[in-house]
Chain A
Amino acid sequence: MSLKVQDVRVMESRLIEKLSILADAAKYDVSCSSSGGKRKNENKGLGNAEGMGICHSYTEDGRCVSLLKILLTNHCIYDCAYCVTRRSNDVKRAAFTVQEVVDLTINFYRRNYIEGLFLSSGIFKNADYTMERLVRVAKKLRQEHKFNGCIHLKTIPGASEELIKEAGLYADRLSVNIELPSEMSLQQLAPEKNYKEVLEPMGSIKQQLVQAKEEKKLFKSAPGFAPAGQSTQLIVGASAENDHQILQLSSQLYKDFSLKRVYYSGYVPISSDNRLPIITEPPIIRENRIYQADWLMRFYGFDAKEIVDEQHPHLDLEIDPKLGWALRNRHAFPVEVNTADYELILRVPGIGIKSAQKIVSARRFTQLSFEHLRQMGVVLKRAKYFITCQTKSLQRQDFESELIRRKILFGEGSVRSALLTQQLDLFKQVG
């Protein structure tokens, strides 16, 4: 009897060790979100995914924890320089069984820890062998457990089209990670991979998505295909591409492959491989600015070209890209909030989507004042340089762009000290 308890204990601690290794190895992949899926619980089964994904927790670095994000295994036959799982890296290896992943998912889900599963894997044996197992997990969850939670599968580079097609039957979202923003970097850092191998499955997923949608129109009961679409991840700062190249690529991906999301992951220096740049900290601010730019493209009607171009290929790290655009395009301002088009109001720094909508709605009732705007959540500290309210401005004079930039960055009246700080910064950089 006591032996049995011991056996259970040993199994439990094996599982704990596997989970710690395979969660740790998966954590750098940020292309993980549970939103956008729709899988209604119509079979009295387990789980229901509708619209917005839920963050059930947040890591200490402030990222959303929504899905159980793990690798099936961190054994890998490839040797990609930027990856902890690469063959030549000296780390502990582990592998889950299909059943273990299924049990973890179900039990976490029932306790309301997660929205579902995000499963990726190192490549063991070969691409199809690995992909087949990922598909098996998803199939088991859907068929044996009537699981309606979110399943996001990573497609393994080089896996066959049939397997990807099958994956799409069970998964809500599929992702193919491009990782490096240009073919050249990919050749350097991940010599066993190539762009064709990455873009081909992306193209075929897109085709399947389109086809499934068409079939759905004809027959309501037609099988769905990855209803939450596909996404990818680009690593920022592991290779030499500038922001212009990166945003150009994402903008193209959104258009050509109708991606739902492109995720950006500031390169975390995990590897001493000499093919990689030597940095001590991940480029978090740059990553953040790229996300803001991506946001502007998707929700604010900006074109990639308006944010960065060949002449200005880098995003300004000090100010957000929307303010940057406004300062470069002073001729578009000031905007009269009581009459201007929604699209223009949306371009004013300090006015977000919510407040822009409120403005357009409220001005049908009355002429808006600055006080109204403040109440609606407009950040006047920023917006005041770019708007008028009933033709009045909060600014008595017109400022140069450079001055506005400083006032917003360092506060009103602190022009002198601002200059000082900047100089101090310069000294620091030199020293």
Chain B
Amino acid sequence: MHFYTYDGTFEGLLTLVFEAYERKAWPTSIAQEHLAQPGMFGENIAVVTEEQKTARVWQGLQKKLSINAQQALYHTYLWEQPGFEQIIFDYIRLAFSSEQNIEGNYAAPCVLQVQQAAKQVHREKHRMEAFVRFQKTADGLYFATISPDFNVLPLIVRHFERRYADQRWAIYDTNRRYGAYYDLRQVSLVNLDLPPHQRPTSLAPEVKDADEDVYQQLWQVYFDNVNIPERRNPKLHLRHIPRRYWKYLSEKQPRQLR
């Protein structure tokens, strides 16, 4: 039995694949270092991420897989759900051991699982692109917070970079405690590990732009008036915007009295 641990990065996971092949020792379990409990009977292997080994595996995959499938593998990593490492491992192993391209082989469990994980991640990405709500600060920064089910921040920055090329913006993941900041030239990812009571969810009144509240209110007014009461359909409504997303949506906040 072989209990592998790695540092939790995608690169680390690929190094792990390299090690497993070199040792011809397929993992019984794969865990992140800080979460791992060493197995009692069997070998514990602590993988140290190495750029060269990572690159070897990735280059190997690039020969075997289309860009789409490479992306899907990365998305499965961002999916972060229990067992994702094993799914990725199985997928890579199947890819390396087959002559044929395996991407369409939905009859193999790991291929279907990667496809489904990637789909969920893609969906969350799409939702975040839709539900992010920026608030404008007095110094002209557009600021938003998110806490997505999966780790999609790295996937959404491109979308916002293209869309808001002429405004400074920042998006902060309150669960994973890091954010993206665009300074009119480029996006950088920044770790910002604030103590819980300082983690921002909304802007403090003193840093808000003078017009911010008005536009939030106008948006609420708009939202209330496009509704057609005769067609009310709460079930469908909830299917599209599950409650856990409401906290970011200004149209779902209490109406301001004026």
Contacts and interface: CB of A to CB of B under 8 A. Distances in A.
A268 B106 contact: no
Given A48-B163, A57-B249, A376-B106, A20 B221 contact: yes
B91 to A, nearest CB: 15
Interface in A261-309: 266, 268-269, 281-282, 284
Given A54-B129, A361-B104, A112 B134 contact: yes
B107 interface: yes
Nearest to B245: A57
B218 A15 contact: yes
B223 A65 contact: yes
Contacts, number: 154
Contact of B237 (A12, A45, A61, A365): A61
A41 B226 CA distance: 29
B142 A111 contact: yes
B106 A362 contact: yes
A280 B167 CA distance: 48
Nearest to A44: B165
A23 B222 contact: yes
B1 interface: no
B232 to A, nearest CB: 5
B169 to A, nearest CB: 9
Among A13, A19, A284: residue with most chain B CB under 10 A: A19
B105 interface: yes
A308 to B, nearest CB: 24
Contact of A55 (B133, B231, B235, B240): B240
Interface residues of A, number: 58
A268 B225 contact: no
Interface stretch (B22-30, B60-68, B191-199, B209-217): B209-217
Contacts of B221: 16, 19-20, 23
B206 interface: no
A214 interface: no
B131 interface: yes
A64 B227 CA distance: 11
A284 B236 CA distance: 13
B163 A107 contact: no
B139 interface: no
A107 B215 contact: yes
A27 B163 contact: no
Contacts of B217: 16
Contacts of B129: 54
Interface in A356-387: 358, 361-362, 364-366, 368, 372, 375-376
Contacts of B232: 60-61
Interface string A66-99: 0011000000000000000000000000000000
Contacts of B237: 58-62
Contacts of B97: none
Given A48-B162, A65-B223, A361-B104, A104 B218 contact: yes
Q: Please provide the 4 A-B residue pairs with the shortest distance between their CB atoms, ordered closest to farther.
A: A62-B236, A361-B104, A61-B231, A23-B225
Interface of B: 100, 102, 104-108, 112, 126, 129-136, 142, 144, 162-167, 211, 214-215, 217-219, 221-237, 239-241, 249-251, 258
